[in-house]
Amino acid sequence: MSNKIERYSTVAVVLHWVIAAVIVLQLFLGWRMSGLDGADRSFVLQIHKSIGITILILSVVRLVWRLRNPPPAADASLTRIERVLSTWVHRGFYVVMLGLPLTGWAMISLTRGGTMTRLFGLIPWPPVPFLNRLAAGPRDMMAGVLENAHSALVLITIALFLLHVAGALKHHFISRDRVLQRMVTWMRQSRLFEPRLLVIPVVGVLVGALAYAPPPPAAAAPRPKPTELAKADIYLDVVAPTLSRRCGSCHNDDRTRGGLSLVDHAAVMEGGLHGNTVVPGNPDRSELLRRVTLANSHDQFMPKGGRTPLTSEQVEAIRWWIAQGASGSAAVGSLKLTPPAQSALASILGFASDEVQLVSADDESADLPTVAAADPKTIAALEASGFVVRPVVSGGTLLDINYSTLQPLSDAQLQMLDAVALQVLRLNLRGAEVTNAGLKTIARMTNLRRLRLESNPIDDGGMAELQGLKELRYLNLTGTKVTDRGLVSLGTLPKLRKIYVWNTTISPKAAETLRQNHPELMVNTGVQLKLLAPSAPAAPPRVY
């Protein structure tokens, strides 16, 4: 074990290579963890923390051994610059080997509740004494400093690693001296090519692969997708998934930026260090909403770091959730739904924007005409082509028809509806790729009262085909190519009461003009959510 010879002692050699392998594994784990969130991230983080404490313990052992057993003197062949570089690289390694686990340990100790780590799930490892008892302000400031220091030490570790390897290879392949042999004891001196050196990169690759070997725990069964907008849970189906995807990587129980965790409703309501995170019933006083509606260039805009910001629909859904009391669980249909919130929720959950009726549709069912029943064979043929056909009234002859498949609806398929043209009272062709030519078939449905044509490539030319629908009460043109000219032409429909034209080029001026000419007609152009100042009120829906 004596260090008086030119090589390092066996203990020093073993500690060197074990710590090197574990650091490589740790770097790969950190890399892997950066792309995870939720339970997967927590699982890998627990391994990362366990290995970090292991590195700390091994590094202390190695430092004590080095102090009690001095290493061999520097090789006489080293130049003055090489001696200085070697000294400072070794000192730098001790700084990062101790500094990385210590800063990581301190960061975990500062999280909400001072999370205690179980090394490899077995040995309890407590938080740093007193850190988890700091006041909120100093705790948050220290957490930010430690996180920046930890990240900087990772970069320094990589730089030192590359410099150390480059120096070792220089000594073996260029200087062809005994420096590398002092640590790689099985090396043959001054060989230009040493095949046994290949074991080092091979082991490095295998160690890195270990970072991806442990499978993350099986994820909890996801909530079933709501079948109706009214039955969706505002927090569990909308708010919680949004916060998890957009904010969860920085605001969880292992990493509480700003002292804030968003892992569950209780944590959200507990809030963070910078004001009232969520004030039930008051969106304008809620720090969470303020942060996500700031300009992207603002220092306090969330999420930071170039992460994907919340969409306008997600922001509007959170705004409405807060305004409705910010409950941890509530069906959408049990709350007071507004047009902007309805549009946002429908978009997020994949429903039609008018899935929940805000205005009574009784006028669509009043004074129903009497028509003969459709041929059952015709109904069966329609259903085989992708149409869902239901009676408007149980046992009645009038029909409510939806096109349900993802395949585009051809003009020939649409013409199949000619056989039931008089029976159709409600027709939903949302996103069916209906063309202007296809609207000629719809024009023959003279009893039609409700027509949904949103997300179809129809334009002003198709509006001319609808002039014969004298019974039409409701028309949805959201996401179509209809312009101001096409909107004006719809004013000739005598019983039309509601038109939805969100996400079109129709101007507020044209909508207002049509309303003035037809006071009984509502033209809803939706809402365009803007980035608001902290004290600015929410933009109202533009309904004319």
Read off the pLDDT of residues 256-274 as tens digits, 9 standing for 90 and up. 566 677 777 877 887 665 5
Confidence of residue 249 (pLDDT cuts 50, 70, 90): low
> What residues have CB less than 8 Å from 487, skipping those under 6 apart?
463, 499, 501, 506, 510, 511, 514, 523
Find the mean pLDDT for residues 376-386: 91
pLDDT at 198: 62
Read off the pLDDT of residues 282-341 as tens digits, 9 standing for 90 and up. 888 888 888 888 766 777 777 776 667 788 788 888 999 999 998 988 888 888 877 778
Q: Do residues 179 and 241 share a domain? A: no
- 13 pLDDT above the threshold of 60: yes
Burial code of 354-392, b = ≥16 C-beta within 10 A, e = fewer?
Answer: bbbeeeebeebbeeeeebeebeeebbeebeebebebeeb
- 343 pLDDT above the threshold of 50: yes
- 453 pLDDT above the threshold of 90: yes
The backbone torsions φ and ψ at residue 80, rounded to the nearest 5 degrees and listed phi first, read -60, -45
Residue 33 resides in a domain? yes
CB 520 within 8 A of CB 491: no
Mean pLDDT is lowest, of 140-144, 205-209, 239-243, 503-507, for: 205-209
C-alpha–C-alpha distance, residues 340 and 483, integer Å: 22
Q: What is the DSSP letter of 78?
A: -
CB 475 within 8 A of CB 490: yes
Q: How many domains does the chain have?
A: 3
Mean pLDDT is lowest, of 280-284, 351-355, 407-411, 529-533, for: 529-533
Q: Do residues 36 and 117 share a domain? A: yes
Q: Do residues 292 and 371 share a domain? A: no
Q: Do residues 477 and 382 share a domain? A: yes
Confidence of residue 193 (pLDDT cuts 50, 70, 90): low
Q: Which two tokens stand for residue 101?
A: 């686990």
Residue 220 resides in a domain? no
- 81 pLDDT above the threshold of 70: yes
CB atoms inside a 10 Å sphere around CB 435: 19
> What's the distance, Cα to Cα, between the start and end of the chain in Å?
90
Between 123 and 331, the higher pLDDT residue: 331
pLDDT at 377: 93
- Burial class for 135, CB neighbours closer than 10 Å (0-12, 13-18, 19+): exposed
C-alpha closest to that of 425 among 414, 417, 433: 417
Q: Do residues 240 and 288 share a domain? A: yes
Residue 215 resides in a domain? no
Read off the pLDDT of residues 49-59 as tens digits, 9 standing for 90 and up. 888 888 889 99
pTM confidence score: 0.45
CATH code where residue 14 lies: 1.20.950
CB 260 within 8 A of CB 273: yes
Confidence of residue 449 (pLDDT cuts 50, 70, 90): very high
Q: What is the DSSP letter of 297?
A: T
Using the 3D structure, point to which of 159, 178, 210 is the last residue of a domain: 210
pLDDT at 440: 93
Between 67 and 267, the higher pLDDT residue: 67
Q: Which domain holds residue 249?
A: 229-349
Confidence of residue 472 (pLDDT cuts 50, 70, 90): very high
Confidence of residue 221 (pLDDT cuts 50, 70, 90): low
- Strand-strand pairing, 255-256 and 251-252: antiparallel
Q: Do residues 163 and 45 share a domain? A: yes
Residue 503 resides in a domain? yes
Using the 3D structure, point to which of 298, 324, 349 is the last residue of a domain: 349
Mean pLDDT is lowest, of 330-334, 423-427, 531-535, for: 531-535
Q: Do residues 244 and 319 share a domain? A: yes
pLDDT at 128: 78
- 109 pLDDT above the threshold of 90: no
Q: Do residues 200 and 311 share a domain? A: no
Q: Do residues 337 and 397 share a domain? A: no
Q: Do residues 292 and 174 share a domain? A: no
CB atoms inside a 10 Å sphere around CB 38: 16
Query: What is the separation of C-alpha 460 from the centre of its chain, rounded to a whole number of angstroms?
Result: 38
Mean pLDDT is lowest, of 76-90, 229-243, 437-451, 460-474, for: 76-90
Q: For the chain, what is the mean pLDDT?
A: 78
C-alpha–C-alpha distance, residues 10 and 17, integer Å: 11
Residue 222 resides in a domain? no
Residue 534 resides in a domain? no
Q: Do residues 81 and 132 share a domain? A: yes
C-alpha closest to that of 452 among 505, 409, 510, 514: 409
Using the 3D structure, point to which of 301, 322, 349 is the last residue of a domain: 349
Residue 34, CB-side half-sphere exposure with 13 Å CA sphere: 8
Confidence of residue 532 (pLDDT cuts 50, 70, 90): very low
CB atoms inside a 10 Å sphere around CB 509: 10
Please report, rounded to a whole number, the percentage of residues in the chain having pLDDT higher than 90: 17
Q: Do residues 176 and 301 share a domain? A: no
- 372 pLDDT above the threshold of 80: yes
- 353 pLDDT above the threshold of 50: no
